[in-house]
Amino acid sequence: MQLIDVARTVTAGTATLVQLAVRGELRREHVWLGVRGAGRYARAVASGDVADDEVIDERLYGQRGCKNCPARTITSEGGYVASWCGTPLVEGRDDLGPTCGCLVEAKASVASEACPRGRWVASVLAGRQRGPTPTPPVGSP
SS3 (DSSP) at 72: strand
Q: What is the pLDDT of residues 12-27, one digit of tens each?
A: 556 666 666 677 766 6
Backbone angles phi, psi at 88, to 5 degrees: -55, 130
Is 100:33 a contact under the CB 8 Å cutoff? no
Q: What is the pLDDT of residues 39-98, one digit of tens each?
A: 777 788 788 898 998 999 999 999 999 999 999 999 877 677 888 999 888 889 999 999
Q: What is the pLDDT of residues 89-112, one digit of tens each?
A: 888 999 999 999 888 988 998 999
Please spell the DSSP secondary structure of 38-62, one letter per residue. Answer: HHHHHHHHHHT-B--HHHHHHHHHS
Q: Which amino acid, 87?
A: T
